[in-house]
Amino acid sequence: MAEVSLRKLRKTYGAVVAVEGVDLEIAKGELIVLLGPSGCGKSTTLRMVAGLETISAGELHIGGRNVTTLEPKDRDIAMVFQNYALYPHKTIRGNMSFGLKMRGMKGGEISRRVDAAAEMLDITHLLNRKPGQLSGGQMQRVALGRALVRDPAVFLLDEPLSNLDAKLRSRMREEIALLQRRIGKAMLYVTHDQTEAMTLADRIVIMRDGHVQQIGSPLEVYDRP
Ligand code: ADP
Ligand code: ADP
């Protein structure tokens, strides 16, 4: 059974149709990349899965449950944003703990999860610092760590590497690929970068004008002589 199922998802803003008839199933352990030019509806699709945009028509199922109208907090997801979205006045440990604390998790369990995620992402030495003392690459690791501690069924990543320089981008790309293999969750990853899509995706979904134009493995999608 698919971990995530998008069924004829549609989003309109007044007369503007941003997304139309998007059908997609994501299996556990599968990394799907939404790829396409600016304005094609990638971000809107991701945000509908996250619950950050309402769904105008269609249905969304996560873990076999219809979550079409549920709040973000009631969906089994965690999101990683391009701009990291860290709290500047909290330490890295504070940033990674906050969401769990809000959910009423016990301190011991929170520490255990934060320590494990920090180790996996090699940021243990940064836990007592504040975001302002970190490089862009380090902040992106923290953003990944904050999603990881939630242990969600689905990870949603919106252009996570766009603010990094080319060298760091290729390194983080490899690390995300490794992380994905290791945790084996469903991932939906938005980018306009073809290299990212080619190296990361199990399947690439090419979007154009709010529609899915093509779905396939990187080889199927880019079978060029
Ligand atoms: P992408 O992520 O592929 O760049 P978006 O999902 O952001 O594309 O946008 C898809 C379309 O929806 C675009 O035409 C965009 O202008 C429109 N759109 C996105 N958000 C809004 C909004 N809040 N109000 C009106 N139109 C929007
Ligand atoms: P939390 O960090 O647990 O999400 P917040 O109060 O900081 O708690 O978040 C407010 C809303 O934003 C919640 O509905 C939450 O689901 C969503 N949110 C915040 N950060 C993330 C994230 N990294 N991934 C997914 N959703 C998030």
Q: Pick from 93, 102, 151 the residue to mutate for probing ligand 2's pocket: most ligand atoms within 8 Å of its CB.
A: 102
Cα–Cα distance between 191 and 158 in angstroms, integer? Answer: 7
Of all protein residues, whose CA lies closest to atom 15 belonging to ligand 1? Answer: 39
Atom in ligand 1 nearest the alpha carbon of residue 14? 25
Which atom of ligand 2 is nearest to 81's Cα?
23
Nearest-10 crossing angle of helices 92-102, 136-148: 20
ipTM strictly over 0.85? no
Given this model, what pLDDT does residue 14 score?
Answer: 95
166 lines ligand 2 (CB under 6 A): no
Distance CA(38)–CA(57), nearest Å, equals 23
Helix-strand-coil split of the chain, %, nearest 5: 40, 25, 35
Residue nearest to atom 25 of ligand 1 (CA): 13
Q: Which pLDDT score is estimated for 223?
A: 73
Residue with tokens 């301190």: 107
**152 within 8 A of 114, measured Cβ to Cβ:** no
For residue 172, the one-letter residue type is: M
Print pLDDT tens along the chain (225 aa): 799 999 999 999 999 999 999 999 999 999 999 999 999 999 999 999 999 999 999 999 999 999 999 999 899 999 998 888 899 999 999 999 999 999 999 999 999 999 999 999 999 999 999 999 999 889 999 999 999 999 999 999 999 998 888 888 888 898 898 888 888 999 999 999 999 999 999 999 999 999 999 999 999 998 764
Q: How many helices (H) and strands (E) does the chain have?
A: 7, 10
Pairing of strands 65-66, 57-62: antiparallel
Nearest atom in ligand 2 to the alpha carbon of residue 77 is: 25
Closest atom of ligand 1 relative to the 41 alpha carbon: 6
**Number of Cα atoms under 13 Å in the Cβ half of residue 111:** 4
Candidates 47, 40, 49, 50; CA nearest to 19 is: 40
pLDDT value, residue 83 = 83
- At residue 171, the pLDDT reads 87
- Confidence (pLDDT) at 224: 62
**Do strands 31-35 and 211-216 pair parallel, antiparallel, or not at all (unpaired)?**
unpaired
**How long is the chain?**
225
Mutate to test the pocket of ligand 2, among 62, 67, 73 (most ligand atoms within 8 A of CB): 73
CA of 91 to the centre of ligand 2 (A): 17
CA of 222 from ligand 2 middle (Å) equals 36
| Ligand 1 centroid from CA 110, angstroms | 36
CA distance 218 to 205: 10
d(CA 211, CA 9): 10
Please say whether the beta carbons of 19 and 189 come within 8 A: no
